[in-house]
A = this chain, B = another copy of it.
Amino acid sequence: MAKFLTNREENYSQWYNDLVIKADMAENSAVRGCMVIKPYGYAIWEKIQAELDRRFKATGHVNAYFPLFIPKSFFSREASHVEGFAKECAVVTHYRLKHAPDGKGIIVDPDAKLEEELIVRPTSETIIWNTYKDWIHSYRDLPLLINQWANVVRWEMRTRLFLRTTEFLWQEGHTAHATREEAQQEALMILDLYADFAENYMALPVIKGVKTESEKFAGAIDTYTFEALMQDGKALQGGTSHFLGQNFAKAFDVQFANQEGKLDYVWATSWGVTTRLIGALIMAHADNNGLVLPPRLAPIQVVIIPIYKGNEQLGSISEIANDLRSKLEKAGFSVKYDDRDTQKPGFKFADYELKGVPVRLAIGPRDAENGTVEVARRDTLTKETINRDNVVTHVTALMEEIHQNIYRKAADFRAENTYSVDTWDEFRDIIENKGGFVMAHWDGSTETEEQIKNLTKATVRAIPFNAPAEEGKCVLSGKPSHRRVLFARAY
C-alpha cells in the first residue's frame, strides 16, 4: 500500500484528495474553488476529449466557439433558467484597472464601469440561442448540430478537485431541430453515446434514465442522465442530455419556416460532460495503491523499468527495452521507458502504481539473458514472466482483459450494492448505514421527494429507462407507484 495515501476504508474523502494530489492529477490554485489541472490529469482529459470529439463528429456534429461572457439580461429571458443559474455566477462589472492614488498596487478604475454587467458563462444556452436567432430561418437551416469545448464558471461554496470546482472544463452541445421527435431522439442518442463511452472507455457501468422535475436542468422539458456508483456507495452523475422543447426558441424568438411555409418555433437539445469525469474515473476504480486507469484512457499504457547494476547491464537492458518500446508503439500503445538513474526500481514501481499505469514491464539481467520479461498488471497487482518474443501479443490481450476486469469489478460492486427496498425503515437504514443504489417505489410528487431528501440526504438519481412497470407503494407516503426509481446519496 502506498504509505502516503490515507487508507480508503478509513477516510474515503481524504483518500480521494490525497490521491488526486499525489498522483499529480490536479491541485487547488490561489483562486478559491479553481483548480490547476496538472499535465498528468490533463493528459487524461485530452484522451477523453479526443474520443468524445470523434464520436460527436461521427454523428454529424461540428464544433464552434461562443463568447465567455453573457449579458446579464439574457438570463432573465427563460423563466426557469434564471432560477437555476442566476445565483452562482461570476460577475464582470468593470473593464479597467489603474494605479492606486497612494502608489500602492492597483485598483479597479471606477470610471470603467460596464453599463450592463457581464456574467461569466455558467452554461451557454442563452447566448447561443440569441445567436441561433440569426442563423435559423428555414427548415433548410435545420438541424443545426453544434458542440463547444469550453470553460465555464459556477460559483460553488464547497468545492472538491474535479468533482465540483468553480471553473471547470466541459463540452456543451446545442442542437436545433424542426420537430419535437427529432430533438428528443437527438437527446437520447447523445445519452447513449455518453453511456457507451463511459462503459467502453472509462470501464464504468452506468444507469440511464430521466431526472425528476426537481432534479432536471433549469429550462429543460426532460433531462436524461447517466449515473454511476462510486466505491463509497455514493452516486455520481456522469453527464446529462436535455430535451429543451421550444423553451429557448420562445425565449429568444427563434422561428423557422417549415416545409409548408408556416412559422414554428425551433426544438432544442443541450448536453454536456465535464472534467468531473476524471473524478468519477478515480472514485470508481482506484485503490489504496493509487489510481487504476482503464487502458483506453491511460496517458501511459505501458511502462518499462530496467533493473540493473552498473552501466554495462543498463546498456544491454536498454537495448532490449528500446526494442520492446518501439514494437509496442508500433502496435499503438503509449509506452514510457524509465531509465532514470536517480531513482531505484522499487520507487518507480510504487510511483507507476500510484499513477495507475495499466501494465508494467521489468527487465533484469537474468531476463536479458533468458529472453524473458516480467509483466505486472496494475488492476490485480499480479506478475508473471513471459517470453520476450510474445510481449506485443501478450500486452494487447492484457489491455483488453484489464479493461474487462475493471469494468466487471465495478459492475459487481454495483450489483452488490444495489438494493430493492420496500419499507421506509429499510430505506433509511441502507441509505444511512450502507450506502449504494436503492431501487424503491416513489409516489412521483416533488413533496415526497423533498421530504425523503430532508430526512436522508438521498435524492432520486434517475427514473431508469430499464425499470420494469411494477405496481407498488411509495416507500415514504404509501401512495401508489408504477415503477421503482433509483435513489442514492450523490456527489
Contacts and interface: CB of A to CB of B under 8 A. Distances in A.
SS of A interface (majority): mixed
Q: Which of A29, A69, A87 has the largest number of chain B CB atoms within 10 A?
A: A69
Interface in A36-79: 36-39, 42-43, 45-46, 62-76
A62 B38 CA distance: 9
A66 B29 contact: yes
Given A39-B146, A42-B63, A89-B96, A71 B31 contact: yes
A96 B155 CA distance: 8
A97 interface: yes
A69 B46 CA distance: 22
B127 A29 contact: yes
A93 B73 contact: no
B43 A63 contact: yes
Contacts of A66: 29, 36
A191 interface: no
Given A82-B106, A88-B96, A106-B86, A167 B69 contact: yes
A179 interface: no
A456 interface: no
A134 B87 CA distance: 34
Interface residues of A, number: 63
A95 interface: yes
Copies held by the complex: 2
Query: Which among A70, A97, A169 has the highest number of chain B CB atoms within 10 Å?
Result: A97
A151 B31 CA distance: 17
A196 interface: no
A239 to B, nearest CB: 19
Given A97-B91, A105-B73, A68 B118 contact: no
Contacts of A89: 95-97
Nearest to A45: B65
A438 to B, nearest CB: 34
A106 B67 contact: no
Interface in A104-161: 105-106, 108, 117-120, 127, 130-131, 134, 140, 146, 150-151, 153, 155
A455 interface: no
A93 to B, nearest CB: 5
Contacts of A140: 342
A469 interface: no
A30 interface: yes
Nearest 8 interchain pairs by C-beta: A34-B67, A39-B62, A37-B65, A91-B94, A95-B155, A86-B97, A76-B105, A93-B93
Interface of A: 27, 29-31, 34-39, 42-43, 45-46, 62-76, 82, 86-98, 105-106, 108, 117-120, 127, 130-131, 134, 140, 146, 150-151, 153, 155, 167, 169, 342
10 contacts: A27-B134, A30-B67, A31-B69, A36-B67, A43-B62, A69-B90, A72-B105, A90-B92, A90-B94, A108-B117
Given A34-B68, A86-B97, 12 more contacts: A29-B66, A29-B131, A35-B67, A37-B64, A39-B64, A65-B169, A68-B151, A69-B167, A76-B106, A90-B118, A91-B93, A92-B93
